[in-house]
Amino acid sequence: MAMGGNNSPFMSEINVTPLVDVMLVLLIIFMVTAPMMMQGVNVSLPQTTSKPLPAEKEHLTITVDRSQQIFINDYKVALEALQEKMTKILEGRQDHKVYLRADKNVPYGVVIRVISAVKSAGVEKLGVVTEPLKEKVKKK
């Protein structure tokens, strides 16, 4: 296709360079902003010396935050409705494993009531999430 000698004022080829430029800019924007969009319930987990378990897939997580609010994954639930909601959720799942994340400042009685409600809903395995110790423990 010769330019200039042709009397056609229109260009029949698509110029892909601006398209690629725009796509690269959008890709960079999404890469930068995606980690900022991740939200969750902020809890201060107790620290232990146990080794982390391998994560096979994403499990159902019950969280009790510092103000004793209860969340199923990221959805707030009242303690009175926890057992009923868990029963309905577990009906549609083959995997009846649940992880419990409780803030270290939550009273023991509240955590036990949550565990009781979750176990009454039919949970077969309940794991407790902790954080590793930040400093190494000296062996004697």
| Domains of the chain by residue range | 47-132
Residue 22 pLDDT grade (very low, low, confident, very high; cuts 50, 70, 90): very high
Q: What is the pLDDT of residue 94?
A: 79
Average pLDDT score over residue span 6-22: 79
What percentage of the chain reaches a pLDDT higher than 90? 10
Beta strands in the chain (DSSP E): 47-48, 60-64, 70-72, 75-77, 97-102, 125-128, 131-132
Rounded CA gap, 71 and 88, in Å?
15
Rounded CA gap, 128 and 99, in Å?
6
pLDDT: is 60 or 45 the higher one? 60
Highest mean pLDDT among 13-17, 62-66, 88-92, 131-135: 62-66
Rounded CA gap, 100 and 108, in Å?
13
In sequence order, which residues have a C-beta less than 8 Å from that of residue 121 and are 6 or more positions away? 82, 83, 84, 86, 87, 90
User: Looking at the predicted structure, is the pLDDT value of residue 139 above 70?
Assistant: no
What is the pLDDT of the chain when averaged over all its residues?
79
Are residues 45 and 23 in contact, defined by beta-carbon separation less than 8 angstroms? no
pLDDT: is 36 or 106 the higher one? 106
Rounded CA gap, 108 and 98, in Å?
19
Residue range 47-132 in CATH 3.30.1330.10? no
Residue 31 pLDDT grade (very low, low, confident, very high; cuts 50, 70, 90): confident
pLDDT: is 138 or 134 the higher one? 134
Output the six-digit token pair for 11. 């260009």
Q: What is the pLDDT of residue 122?
A: 85
User: Looking at the predicted structure, is the pLDDT value of residue 136 above 80?
Assistant: no
pTM of the model: 0.56
Q: What is the pLDDT of residue 25?
A: 93
